[in-house]
Structure 1
Amino acid sequence: MPTVFKLAALSMSLSLACAAQAAATAPQKTLPAFASEQELTVYLQTLAQRQLEQQRAREKMLRRSGGMMKMAPSVAPAPAPMAEASVASADSAAESVTNTQTAGVDEGGIVKLHGKHLVMLRRGKLFTVAVGGNALQPVAAVDAFAPGSDPSGSWYDEMLISGDTVAVIGYSYSRGGTEVGLFDIDAAGKLAYRATYHLRSNDYYSARNYASRLVGSKLVFYSPLSLNVRGKDLFAGFPALRRWRPDAVPGDFQRIAPATRVYRTDDEIDPDDGATLHTVTVCDLAQREMRCEATAVMGPQGRVFYVSGESVYVWTTRRGRKDGGTQAGLFRIPLSGAAPSALKVAGAPVDQFSFLESGDGYLNVLLREQGKGDAMWDSSRGVGELALLRVALSSFSDGRDSAPASSYRALPGGAGYGLQNRYVGQYLLYGTSGQFGQRKADQAWPRQGLYALRWNDNSAVQSLALPHGVERIEALGNDAVVVGAAGSDLHFSSIKLGSQASIAGTYVRANAAQGESRSHGFFYKPQSAGAGVIGLPILGAHEQPNLRQPAASVLYLRNTDLQLKELGALAAQPARIDNDGCRVSCVDWYGNARPLFLQGRVFALLGYELVEGQLTQNGIRELRRISYAPAPGVRQ
């Protein structure tokens, strides 16, 4: 256990009186920016020289050792492309169809609601379906990329809607960064392409996190940018924006983060780690012509980011230290464009759900000893003991200060694969799925633990024994549900969160598994105090999620005072999709199934099918279904 965690275990008194003192959340100081382009240039040249010197030193040691040493790369390699197979109008603002982490912060997803229409993003196309009144009718379909452009080498994964603007978020390996396609949508559900913009970025993909957020009309991106300080153009990797046109060239990019918006701490960049610009870009969708501004902080590669209503938090990690811990920096980057602030910290978050900016003026973060960030599938690869960091927002400063040892609270648990964590009300809940992969039905399943603690006081951490692993933790109003496998069965355990946490009820779906692992796959629709309906995609126990095919079905459960009862499922019909004329983004990396509750109706989005069901007190039955798929073999 890192020293700072050990100290934390001996100093766990977090006085409730501190909460009142944290009302003022303004940082004590802010990070210094570079004063000029010249100062930034000199800094990068110095970093390049240090990098060269370290490389020469390694080469000298290699010669002396007779070539037996392995050479470490002198610069951070560019992320490899993902192998194949490998945003709302006023009418819909009050009825989201996205299971978001933070109220008021929408997340990029594959389905959104605009007035009387659902908008879907799938396999490189945008689709609209009329659902107003009693309608269920496909309306429009357009390519999710610019007309006349070559979409090869691009992935279109996320969508957000602001007013009557649909923003499609993708990543283009061929064009070098985040791609933002803007489309107009009218009250009849018709779509019209407006413009495409490119933002320089490295690959943003994460198996748990989402690249984009929408706060009001502000489209928010976080992106790491690896810098090649020994290249001919020192600023070739800096944040920049261009509007696409058929004859667009790299020289069209215009920097959107001048030196005076690039910040640093007193920590020196380790040349072996490589220099990374952790960049927050805010674009205004209230204007027809998209304008963006970027703020960047310099740090090491590893990162996890979290977006609150006012700030983006970026946790950066260096390579593992000799004591086995992770040396880290925590940046707070305001969405207002104000200067960022930072703290030196230890450990690494699991993912974005490890963070909570609480209303009492604190940031709470669940940590592991070691972690690489949440790029690709790295969220599942952290190891070591756990701790809760609870630090006042007002303690953020110019990056020279460290979070005090008393801000860390050592926690039990953490062993096992696939740590899940979630804040629900006044509780932090966490646990592991147990073992990687499926277990056979005749094998004994180890009892798992769900840990529950009140993050704002010193009450003891509770351990609740579950007969299943912890694969998903979600809110049921002020309470929670934990979903996980045991052998070939899928278990749902409802958790009462009062003065103590307790298991309130269970439901077991025999011979089943989760069909979606992302947070957006789940949705809970409250119907009254203590009552509501759960929706979750499921598969057969021995089926594996197939990114090229629809999920088997969406299961619905009724919650009545935390007693869970099966209502039934809406299932997909077997269908082939290899004749839909797909040209790009032909793998459903963000899943393809969602339970949808809107305007008093219940739907299941299952690939190209939209199935409507009717809820009764005792079950759900299918009313009708449509397919919004493109005509077979036709490229539209």
Structure 2
Amino acid sequence: MITRIIILSLTLLAATGCSVSSYQAHQALNRLENIGDGKFESDAELTRYYDEIQLVRRAVNQKKYGKPACEAGEGLCLEAIVVTARRREANPEITNNQEAGVDEGDIVKVIGDYLVILRQGQLFSVRYSGDTLQAVDAISVLKPGWQHQAWIDELLVYQNQLVVIGYAYDGVIGEGTVELNILSLSDDGHFSHDNSYVIAAGDYFSSENYATRIVDGELIFNFPMALDDLFYQGSSGPLQFARMGLLPDSPEQPIRWQSLLTAQQIYKPRESSLHPVVQVFVKCPLASQLELCSAVGVITGQYEVTSYVTTQSIYLASQSLRQEFLIDAEFDYYIEDDPNTFVYDLYRIDLDSFSLTNQPINGTPINQFSFLEEGDRIHLLTRRDGSDDELSGIFLYNLARADFGNTDSQPPPVRVAGYHDDDWLNSRFVGDWLALGQANYSGGFLDSNSFVLTLHNIHKQQALELFTGHTSSRLEFVDDSLLVLGYDDQENLLGSIVSLDSNPRILSDFQFTGVMEDEYRSHAFNATRLLEGGALFGFTTRPSSSWQEADDYSEDAEAADLYFVAVDRHHRLSPAGAFHSQQAPEPVAEDCVVSCVDWYGNSRPFFLRGKVYGLSGYELIQGDFFQGEVRELQRIDYRLH
């Protein structure tokens, strides 16, 4: 099984002076508690902070293992923590984006009369104007002469410019690098390389969220950087945070480096961590070819955090272990039996000033759909598991942006009842409502509570429960209503349409025969309004007979089917046909180097210029919607043969 490795941290301890007394460790903790707020003032202050963290870390290892963290003469002690993860300006947006005005990275985009498709490290252009569906060009994303092992994940377009982000664990500089490749598409659909950049950093990959956005002509992206990795660089000059290098034409030429971040642009944590991680957010005007980027960082205790981007803000939610527990060797770092052991924070980055404010919260969001910025307020759903009935639970916040950080002026959250620690939840803000339900997929884990959808009005003290008869594995806004897709206790896929007026109710429901969802990312779904009223939506599927073998990240490059459903003016659901993949599963080649697994999926439904499209592996299918049915008009293999 191919896995996507995420290096969480590289712990570096000095070879001498390793033994630490309890008094020294507690003195270091006291100093950490008094580092103050705001940004670090200098490299020296950040270095002192890191020295204190190292001292406490030595004490922890000494207490746990009964000996100093490293022995004299051993040089650097390296402790690696490794996990595997299952992994033209007016261009139309065909991606199922969360926020209007915020385009998210995906695997298919539009530039003029051309579709641009990203698959397995290559870009493909297909002319789609009129009744034409013609493969035009293909190109490797990586800069010529710089081929290496990498995961190429997300594509964005701006005017005729393409931005492709990827990650290499052993990149061109011999360490983990975020890779940004800038290409152009000509008026006749041919690609050319512009610039390629590498950033020494950790992997941004998330199984649900996306790393890149475009807002008003600016590229927004984020990545983690372990503080250990920064000091491991061993530079005798100024600290080089998030070094971004412009690749020259040849590997024999030197890379031109710039530092995206200084110590003075990194915000201090409210609580320190044994393994601090700088979460870095970057914005770059695309007209500048990424030469005029701004960045801001905040130290957290987590490698993977939940973020949400709007046209005005970036939000970041994180949790950290309380500092008094840092040197408790009996504490299991990954178990939240006692909710008092963690603190939780919501950070807001203003997109204009790129300044950061912080608001303490209770718990962590379920995913990026647990956020909604509305005017000058942010609505947020959090969850906190544990044995303390007062602190644990599900909470709904309504926070004023202007009062971020002023806890006394913010209203307390509303507690959401009816859910338990072991529930796998899904949430979505739609209209005036927050929808919340269980997202369990397998019948063996379901009970009657799994089929209840809870709706909370975010402007009034109003809540109600609806029994849908199935789980809430997907929540989508369709034709001014809420679409809920999920499974019953027999593992059948069902859908319900719920009204979003002052009295929400189930308007219709439907059972899908013989299919299950293939991919649960938000981009694997799409919807469009119909001129005659109602809507048409599509999503990726596979035969339900494959349930036991379901694996979103199979080593065999298997393409999904595209299933379409019509919603009439009376909100009734009816099947509208499907595009079935005709591509046989393709085993990953033994010599595969770039993007050997489709971590972001390989299939998408979308709607463009009155036509219905399905991307299914290396097939692109075009159809139309006629008399309640999606009809296939043509399909091509978009690879050039």
Map of 2:349 onto structure 1:
333
Residue 309 of structure 1: how far off its partner (Å): 1.0
Aligned positions of 1:42-441 closer than 5 A: 42-60=48-66, 77-80=80-83, 89-92=88-91, 95-152=92-149, 154-175=150-171, 176-228=176-228, 231=232, 233=234, 238-245=241-248, 246-247=250-251, 253-265=257-269, 267-271=270-274, 274-288=275-289, 290-301=291-302, 303-319=305-321, 323-324=338-339, 326-359=342-375, 361-370=376-385, 385-397=393-405, 401-402=406-407, 406-415=411-420, 417-434=423-440, 437=442
**Whole-Å Cα distance in 1 between the matches of residues 454 and 296 of structure 2?**
37
**Whole-Å Cα distance in 2 between the matches of residues 293 and 147 of structure 1?**
28
Change beyond 3 A, Cα 1:469–1:81: closer
What secondary structure sits across from 1:56 in the alignment? helix
- Tell me which moved more, 542-551 or 131-140: 542-551
Residue 569 of structure 1: how far off its partner (Å): 0.7
**Whole-Å Cα distance in 1 between the matches of residues 241 and 532 of structure 2?**
50
Change beyond 3 A, Cα 1:444–1:409: closer
AA aligned opposite 1:421:
S
**Whole-Å Cα distance in 2 between the matches of residues 76 and 32 of structure 1?**
30
AA aligned opposite 2:576:
L
Work out whether 1:615 is the aligned partner of 2:639.
Answer: no
**Whole-Å Cα distance in 2 between the matches of residues 337 and 406 of structure 1?**
26
- Tell me which moved more, 580-589 or 501-510: 580-589
Map of 2:579 onto structure 1:
570
Give the number of equivalent residue pairs: 563
AA aligned opposite 1:388:
L
Which aligned segments of 4 or more residues in structure 1 are displaced greater than 6 angstroms? 234-237, 248-251, 443-446
**Whole-Å Cα distance in 2 between the matches of residues 323 and 488 of structure 1?**
35
Change beyond 3 A, Cα 1:202–1:629: same
**Whole-Å Cα distance in 2 between the matches of residues 79 and 236 of structure 1?**
25
AA aligned opposite 1:392:
A
**Whole-Å Cα distance in 1 between the matches of residues 423 and 190 of structure 2?**
46
Map of 1:533 onto structure 2:
536
**Whole-Å Cα distance in 2 between the matches of residues 237 and 448 of structure 1?**
52
**Whole-Å Cα distance in 2 between the matches of residues 529 and 428 of structure 1?**
29
Could you list the per-position Cα deviations for residues 240-263 of structure 1 after superposition, in whole angstroms to 9, with x for gaps in the alignment? 211123437998543211122111
What secondary structure sits across from 1:587 in the alignment? coil
Contact 1:198–1:244 under 8 Å retained in 2: yes
AA aligned opposite 1:194:
D
% same residue:
28
Change beyond 3 A, Cα 1:164–1:424: same
Contact 1:475–1:481 under 8 Å retained in 2: yes
Residue 578 of structure 1: how far off its partner (Å): 4.4
Residue 444 of structure 1: how far off its partner (Å): 9.1
Contact 2:525–2:539 under 8 Å retained in 1: yes
AA aligned opposite 2:574:
K
Could you list the per-position Cα deviations for residues 196-230 of structure 1 after superposition, in whole angstroms to 9, with x for gaps in the alignment? 10123211111100111111221111222111177
Change beyond 3 A, Cα 1:429–1:496: same
Could you list the per-position Cα deviations for residues 39-68 of structure 1 after superposition, in whole angstroms to 9, with x for gaps in the alignment? 3333323333333344334444899xxxxx
Could you list the per-position Cα deviations for residues 62-99 of structure 1 after superposition, in whole angstroms to 9, with x for gaps in the alignment? 99xxxxxxxxxx9984554658xx6xx2342xx31100
Map of 1:22 onto structure 2:
none
Residue 477 of structure 1: how far off its partner (Å): 3.2
AA aligned opposite 2:260:
I
Contact 1:78–1:226 under 8 Å retained in 2: no
Corresponding residue to 1:553 among 558, 561, 571:
561
**Whole-Å Cα distance in 1 between the matches of residues 436 and 157 of structure 2?**
32
**Whole-Å Cα distance in 2 between the matches of residues 76 and 339 of structure 1?**
34
What secondary structure sits across from 2:380 in the alignment? strand
Q: Tell me, which stretches of 5 or more residues in structure 1 are unaligned?
A: 1-29, 64-73, 372-382, 632-636
Change beyond 3 A, Cα 1:241–1:606: same
Map of 1:10 onto structure 2:
none
What secondary structure sits across from 2:48 in the alignment? helix
What secondary structure sits across from 2:261 in the alignment? coil
Contact 1:348–1:370 under 8 Å retained in 2: no
What secondary structure sits across from 1:55 in the alignment? helix
Map of 1:7 onto structure 2:
none
Contact 1:295–1:337 under 8 Å retained in 2: no
What secondary structure sits across from 1:464 in the alignment? strand
Work out whether 1:470 is the aligned partner of 2:472.
Answer: yes
- Tell me which moved more, 234-243 or 616-625: 234-243
Residue 343 of structure 1: how far off its partner (Å): 1.5
TM-score, normalisation: structure 2: 0.82
AA aligned opposite 1:527:
L
Could you list the per-position Cα deviations for residues 17-36 of structure 1 after superposition, in whole angstroms to 9, with x for gaps in the alignment? xxxxxxxxxxxxx9622222
Change beyond 3 A, Cα 1:609–1:134: same
What secondary structure sits across from 1:46 in the alignment? helix
Map of 2:454 onto structure 1:
451
**Whole-Å Cα distance in 1 between the matches of residues 120 and 408 of structure 2?**
45
**Whole-Å Cα distance in 1 between the matches of residues 614 and 42 of structure 2?**
54
**Whole-Å Cα distance in 1 between the matches of residues 459 and 129 of structure 2?**
44
Contact 2:607–2:613 under 8 Å retained in 1: yes
Change beyond 3 A, Cα 1:541–1:249: farther
Map of 2:506 onto structure 1:
503
**Whole-Å Cα distance in 2 between the matches of residues 281 and 78 of structure 1?**
26
**Whole-Å Cα distance in 2 between the matches of residues 250 and 291 of structure 1?**
21
What secondary structure sits across from 2:579 in the alignment? strand
Change beyond 3 A, Cα 1:493–1:128: same
What secondary structure sits across from 2:382 in the alignment? strand
Q: Tell me, which stretches of 5 or more residues in structure 2 are unaligned?
A: 1-35, 70-76, 322-334
Could you list the per-position Cα deviations for residues 160-209 of structure 1 after superposition, in whole angstroms to 9, with x for gaps in the alignment? 00111101110111122211011011222111111210123211111100
- Tell me which moved more, 186-195 or 121-130: 186-195
Residue 321 of structure 1: how far off its partner (Å): 5.9
Change beyond 3 A, Cα 1:170–1:403: farther
**Whole-Å Cα distance in 2 between the matches of residues 193 and 178 of structure 1?**
18
What secondary structure sits across from 1:291 in the alignment? coil
What secondary structure sits across from 2:339 in the alignment? coil
| Greater RCO (Cα-Cα under 8 Å, separation 6 or more) | 1
What secondary structure sits across from 1:615 in the alignment? strand
Could you list the per-position Cα deviations for residues 332-383 of structure 1 after superposition, in whole angstroms to 9, with x for gaps in the alignment? 1122244211112221111111111112x21111111049xxxxxxxxxxx9
What secondary structure sits across from 1:349 in the alignment? coil
Contact 1:445–1:468 under 8 Å retained in 2: no
Corresponding residue to 1:482 among 468, 481, 484:
484
What secondary structure sits across from 1:501 in the alignment? coil
What secondary structure sits across from 2:467 in the alignment? strand
Map of 1:69 onto structure 2:
none
Work out whether 1:492 is the aligned partner of 2:491.
Answer: no
**Whole-Å Cα distance in 2 between the matches of residues 509 and 474 of structure 1?**
17
